[in-house]
Amino acid sequence: MTEYRQGTIVELDIHGETEKSAMYLLTHWLSHAPAGVKEVRVIHGCHGGTVLRDMVRRKLKHPRIASKLVTLNPGETRLILKEQ
């Protein structure tokens, strides 16, 4: 997983991860998210299959997630985080 931060937005790229490892990495990252982060853009891809996309959109649960937004880009899901 690669991470890129720009202000209050973090981009996490989970290409190449298995569903299980991506779930672990995202959950762990959300549990230790830096203060001030308001949005996480999860880049999961879509052309190599839909396992990661479906995991992020349907299975990923965490107390920090306020909402999930589906974008026009089918390979990305935005997570809006709750204030800490």
Higher pLDDT, 14 or 47: 14
Is the pTM higher than 0.75?
yes
Q: CA 59 to CA 62: how far, in whole Å?
A: 10
**pLDDT band, residue 83 (cuts 50/70/90):** confident
Q: What is the assigned CATH class of domain 2-81?
A: alpha beta
pLDDT above 90: residue 43: yes
Mean pLDDT (whole number) for 15-28 = 95
Q: Is 39 exposed, middle or buried (0-12, 13-18, 19+ CB in 10 A)?
A: middle
Q: 3-class DSSP state for residue 70?
A: strand
Which residue, among 35, 24, 32, has the nearest Cα to 1 in the 3D structure?
24
